Amino acid sequence: MATSQRLDISYQTLYSELVQRSLDESFTSEFSSNGRFVPVEVKGKKYWYFDTPKVDAAGQDRRYVGPVDDPEITKRVEAFKDLKADLKGRRRLVATLTREAYLPRPPLMTGQVVEQLAKAGFFRLRGVLIGTVAYQCYSAVLGRRLDAVAMQTGDADFAQFHEISVAVGDSMPPILEVLREVDPTFREIPSQ
């Protein structure tokens, strides 16, 4: 297969379906059914937050969701009660895209690390996946096979503006704790 070959429209459609289902699932799994979404104005701009009752005290725990003027986030907030996780269906879509469309996928450990960071709120707080793992995703996004997508460095790279967390009053648990949920042998390596 030529590296610049266009992906068949049926695979592009499958990929679009996978993206939509994944966004829906990540949204429903991040927010429990005993909470509620509330719009909050901060410095003249409205943002969605998710309130859940505190377990041991009166009041609410509040987490940042995103801007109200983001139509995708607002659509999910409005449809929250109707969204259902579809893990089995998404796995079938991924298997089809990797097996039949020959799209690349990261090693299992890399996928688990990315998933755990997502669950901890990394992407919700506007973190970004960069490097070779992100490059592997471009083929599906662009609808074309790209040169050297099989190239792997065996790591995952991430970037995040910490000012977002500070500005919205939300944060992730310590990164080492998050990574140790994937593999307890993860350890901090001192800077050289």
Model pTM? 0.65
- How long a stretch of residues is the chain? 192
Q: Nearest-5° angle of CA 62, CA 81, CA 72?
A: 75
How far apart are alpha carbons 158 and 172 in whole angstroms? 14
pLDDT digits (tens, 9 = 90+) for 63-121: 899 999 999 999 888 877 666 556 788 889 999 999 999 898 888 899 899 988 988 88
Query: CB within 8 A of 22, min separation 6: which ones?
Result: 90
Domain borders along the chain are 104-192
Long-range pairs for 171-175 at CB < 8 Å and ≥24 separation? Answer: 171/125, 172/120, 172/121, 172/122, 172/125, 173/120
